Structure 1
Amino acid sequence: MNLEELRTSNYVRTSKKSNNYWVSFFSKKMSKYIDTYGEGFNLIIYAGEDSNEGYYIIPFGEVKEFFIEKNLSKDKGNIKRWVATIKNHILKINNCSTDIDIKDYFMSKIYLEPDILEDNYSSDYYIENYRQEINIRIKQNVFREKVLKRFNNACCITNITEKDLLVASHIIPWSHNKSTRLDPLNGLCLSILYDKLFDRGYFTINSDLEITTIKFTAELSPSLHEILLAINGKKISLCGNEIPKEYLKYHRDNIFMDRVKILSKC
């Protein structure tokens, strides 16, 4: 791809892969692209002057919420810019508390003009669905970061803090209500096992933030019974705003009771 041609309608920056793709975007120049193209341009980060070492093509409209005043670098003088690095496909902007997963933008031309796209990406239907999928992933990543922050990056039941074992678990499931999908108040920070148990209704949480578990039946293995017995009546920890009581009630009345009904029929 010709960098000079790309620069006419995309904000292109070169970097070094060996330096974790250290890159800066200047506020004044960003404003010019926004004035000209609105959100319809890409942030393109190249490792060097060609694409041999990799590149990222990131649609600005899907990361614009991170390029805001408070995340500007603390440079001296009148320089206003955002400074970022990329490691393991995670974009970290200085002064921004949210890590952005951009692996789907690596070495992909899907967001460039149709005449630059590879043949197998030329379908308008494919392009639109791909864009929607990436946009959802970005928003889910933001949801996760906000939920984990509300719980001080620890499982609200076990206090496990290993981030790769933590899940931003939906109280009202993703598929049940569009309006609550990305509401951080609709999330619990749970370790992997308890996320699955909560998601499948093996336990729920009352309005006092106390855990209620499924009663022991012949359908539960003794090991699972012990796990549930250990948390029954335990109060979850919460560092952020209160969880809306209607969210917890929905889980009790639907997810939890569905599991109760299933086990009662066995």
Structure 2
Amino acid sequence: MKIKERIFHSWLIKTQPQIGNPGKYSKTITTLSNHLKKQNISSTDLFSIDSYSETENLKELYFANNELYEKNVRGNRMYSRAFDLYLEFLKDNYESESISDDIINTTNRKGITETERKNYVLSRIGQGFYRKQLIDYWKSCSVTAIKEVPLLIASHIKPWKKSNDFEKLDVYNGLLLTPNLDKVFDLGLISFDNEGKIIISEFLDDYVSFGIKKNMIVKIALEHKPYLEYHRKNILKTK
């Protein structure tokens, strides 16, 4: 299984106890991908898509096809149920970081000054005040000490959408990471304990290929700990 498929399978076990055979639904997502390819609707595997809206659109296109609609009816609506479960999975695990939606919500938000609005939007896209704060604080990658700052990403520990106004711009809620570390941290495939030692998810078997080592450590302050505790409890992927 691919990492995403294994995480989906684990999510089904944890959140859908009424399902007797979660592996059946994991395999069905691959079947749906094959149907979409065969009908020339999409050439992308569903497990490669993180976007809720893109997946929802593919679901609509799938069932607008008469042949695929009939397959679902004959299969006791197994395909529509699998689509719905995968969409719920994406919402739980990936959709919280929809940058465009967050920017739109911030732009339309009332009760904040234009300066605050600008700072929130710029920090959300990894620029401006928040990024500068993290660069001033860390001066290099928080984990590897790589100093190529233009290549580093300002990464929230507690996701932006789950953070209050203070947490969104709190320098202690951020790490400055290389792109590979940012991605696996954002997806909960790595985290850090209260001593700053790396925790590698059981789902990330080939972590060496991502430049990850078991002895990696980040020098954290006391103020980082509540955010890291949140990340371990709510973002880190465990079986």
Q: TM-score range by the shorter chain?
A: 0.3 to 0.5
If you compute each CA radius of gyration, which structure gives the higher value, 1 or 2?
A: 1
TM-score computed with the length of structure 1 as normaliser: 0.41
Q: Point out the structure with the larger helix share.
A: 2
TM-score between the two structures when normalised by the length of structure 2: 0.46
